Amino acid sequence: MIVRSLAGARPFTTKDGSTIRSLLDRSNAPVMNQSLAEATLPPSGATEPHYHQDSEEFYYVVQGEGRMRIGEEERAVTVGDAILIPPGAVHTLRNTGTGELKILCCCAPPYAHEDTYFP
């Protein structure tokens, strides 16, 4: 059984500018097909518009509020919202609240820096 605690996960900055704490991925577990991480953005922070050629992503907002843009569509997101980001879709997330915006991010196949591209 593999159980990983968020408290023990070291943060790192992804190519898109978000701070990530990986819970389960190829670097810390025998993961084959997906990854799970917590991403945070400070107030007024945003990810750089980017896309993943291979990975499909789910974002699940656990704290804060923001604006999610996928392609030409943009909308407000808040706690409890789940967002589908298809492979190849240019996307960005901006924190519009006064505190940290936190999301759980699931990628399939697992997240890889090499699969992050900028339009």
User: What pLDDT was estimated at residue 15?
Assistant: 87
Looking up residue 39, the CATH number of its domain turns out to be 2.60.120.10
Task: Tell me, letter by letter, the H, E, C secondary structure of the chain.
Answer: CCCCCHHHCCEEECCCCCEEEEEECCCCCCCCCCEEEEEEECCCCECCCEEECCCEEEEEEEECEEEEEECCEEEEEECCCEEEECCCCCEEEEECCCCCEEEEEEEECCCCHHHEECC
Q: Name the residue range of residue 108's domain.
A: 34-117
pLDDT at residue number 87: 98
Specify the pLDDT at position 94: 98
Could you tell me the pTM of the whole model?
A: 0.94
- Listed as ranges, residues in the chain with pLDDT below 50 are none
Q: Is residue 42 part of a domain?
A: yes
Residue 17 confidence (pLDDT): 86
**Is residue 39 included in any domain, yes or no?**
yes
Query: Could you give the number of structural domains in the chain?
Result: 1
Residue 12, in any domain of the structure: no
Does any domain span residue 106? yes
